[in-house]
A and B are shown apart, each in its own frame.
Chain A
Amino acid sequence: MNVDMETKSQSAPSRERVAAIHTELKVEDETFLTDNFLRQLINVGEVDILVGLPTYNNAKTIGSVVRAIQSGILRSFPRERAVIVNADGGSRDGTPELVTGISIDDGRPASNLFALRTLHSISTRYAGSPSSGVALRTILAAAELLRAKACVVMSPESTNIETEWLSKLLRPIYRDGFDLVTPTYRRHKFEGLLMTNLLYPMIRALYGVRIHEPYTSEFGFSGRLGSQFLSQNGWNDGQGVELRLTLAAITGGYRISESFLGEKDHVERRASDLVPTLRETVGVLFSALESDFAKWSTVAVAQPEVPTGGGPGALLDPMRVNRKRLREMFSTGIVELESVFRSILSPSTLAELQRIARSGEDEFHYSGELWVKTVYEFAASFQKSVISRDHIIQALAPLFRGRAFTFLTENRNASANDVENNIEGLCLEFERLKPYLLQVWKSGE
């Protein structure tokens, strides 16, 4: 059952108005936006800025996030018509009530700042199980209906969100005409290894665009990109929709920018989280490569780096990492999944991986070149569906752990600059071996 919450409703909308909005929506959209939510949207009217908050049981952190958003709007966009849209996945801890219940006065950063417009907060509980894809779809549909010029999606889990984040993600869109703004963060040198060892360098090498955080829970986008993505994207599978939006912006030729936000929260993850994460990111990227082949196969070089106003490099605090376990999981995977790897990898790559798996801890070295070849062969096998595509993605997990082990070992005593140089070296390796991807991609056609 869908439960919708309302705040600041002004007048009961007529049935005709609801019906008129229904006709604006596609037939498929009607089933996922409830009448009550549509009424709330009608009450809000057109807006300049929309802040999307996808939530699910985030009562612990949502208060500070909403206050930071309200404060950000008061500081940077006091004259603009703004709305906070909460798409909730069925929280049982009162998260939606917290979102709609926080007064604008709570977020006022200074006594001399006042809202010149009503700041609306509306909430809807979308049907089905919690999914970032459905939540984003709800937010995009709301943005389209309210004709929002600039939108931003904020993570409800941020514990260190700052007032400036909203402005940093929205300003390039609202004032400078960009269509997508992705964040960059200051993180520990060993955080986000999938991002630094696969997603960022591969997207940079193939699409020629430097986006350090292509899969993120905080980003800004223009109304036109949102509308285009809403109409284009196949919504049956909501996995990795944030990455799909980034890739759609790249292939659609939209203007993309990055904004440095600050320090990123440390996210606790278990080993079992890796496979779902790979599905949402690498699986989505490999799928996109198939449809975007005409575009990425013709890109020769990456665009030059654009300064994002980032602060100092990676954090270097000591961090306890179970490296032994990473190496063990890699070696076990190589031995046990040999039959699977035979279907995916070339004999030479597999032989090299088997040699590494047999080597001791000191000799263990999963080089950048071999890692890039591995990823490219996986991408080509994914495209050819040599076995189930989901199995191909799952089989990448132990290999990623092996690469993570080498990255940790190589950068154990490295400075922030050294780490950056190593990542840059890997990016260049991805670019250098792009012809290899094209070769394995076309082999057997």
Chain B
Amino acid sequence: MREMIISELTQALHELARGFAHFLPRLIVLLILAFVGWVIAYLVKVALRSILRLMKFDKLSENAGASQLLNKAAMPSASEVLSRFVFWVAWLGFILLGVSVLGILGLQEQIARFFLFLPRLFVAMFIMFFGLLAASFFSRAALLAAVNGSVPSPRVVSVAVRSIIIVFVLSIVFEELGLAEQTMLVAFGIVFGAAMFGLAIAFGLGGKDLARRFLEKKFVRGKAEENEDELSPL
């Protein structure tokens, strides 16, 4: 009996030792990958930060309105945030690569999904950034046109243009990420429909005088005089 117990224990210890002997190299590989990954991710971060500074990315993000959002959230500059993000994604990628070497069942599938998700994440970020840039450009264009055209409440026009573009961009980003697609679709439909309905009511009821003035100004010659500079700039 005693011998049997000792034998089982010995066997268990042997298996544990064998298992550990199998696991240890993988763990070392994980640690090496994590270390190498950290070095590579750090180098990528430094290189990316320099490239972004050369490209005046902070200026671009300021124009896009992204810098203002970051400032409000007490975060560093856009180029710093992006380079840190790339650092963490790269390092996490190496760590996950190391974890997959461990051969833990179930985890490998999740890691594979993470790697498949990465391109979509970058595309979504790309869309988000250029969407913000477009929103900023078109809202400023609308603001300038409204001010120079003496349209009442120019900022409202500008904010409306920005909001519509951002809502569109967000819906595309969420679709790209595959997050709550149905919810986003329904929410977008509701928000967009409500906004259009609200605008239709507002313009129909509240804006009839404005519309009349606009049409008079446009088509009745005599009424246009008030809005003329009556000076030739050239």
Chain A interface residues toward B at CB < 8 A: 190-195, 215, 266-275, 277-278, 281, 319-322, 325-326, 329, 332-333, 336-337, 339-340, 386-388, 391, 394-395, 397-398, 400-401, 404
Contact = CB atoms under 8 A, between A and B. Distances in A.
A60 B103 CA distance: 88
Number of chain B interface residues as a range: 20 to 34
A277 B226 contact: no
B143 A336 contact: yes
Given A270-B224, A388-B137, A333 B231 contact: no
Given A193-B233, A337-B147, 7 more contacts: A191-B232, A192-B234, A195-B234, A270-B227, A272-B148, A322-B229, A329-B147
A376 B231 CA distance: 24
A311 B146 CA distance: 42
Contacts of A394: 144-145, 148
Nearest to A332: B147
Given A267-B232, A325-B227, A272 B149 contact: yes
A348 to B, nearest CB: 21
B142 to A, nearest CB: 11
A193 B147 contact: no
9 contacts: A269-B233, A271-B150, A272-B149, A277-B233, A321-B229, A340-B140, A388-B141, A391-B144, A400-B233
A340 B143 contact: yes
Nearest to B146: A336
Given A270-B227, A271-B228, A325-B229, A277 B147 contact: no
B98 to A, nearest CB: 45
A273 B228 CA distance: 10
Contacts, number: 94
Contacts of B226: 322, 325
A193 B232 CA distance: 7
B109 interface: no
Interface in B114-157: 137, 140-141, 143-150, 154-155
Among B59, B140, B154, max chain A CB count under 10 A is at: B140
Given A270-B229, A391-B140, A333 B234 contact: no
Contacts of A267: 232, 234
A79 B137 CA distance: 59
B224 A274 contact: no
B141 A391 contact: yes
Contacts of B146: 336
The 4 A-B residue pairs with the shortest CB-CB distance, nearest first, are A194-B233, A394-B144, A267-B232, A271-B229
Contacts of A271: 150, 227-229
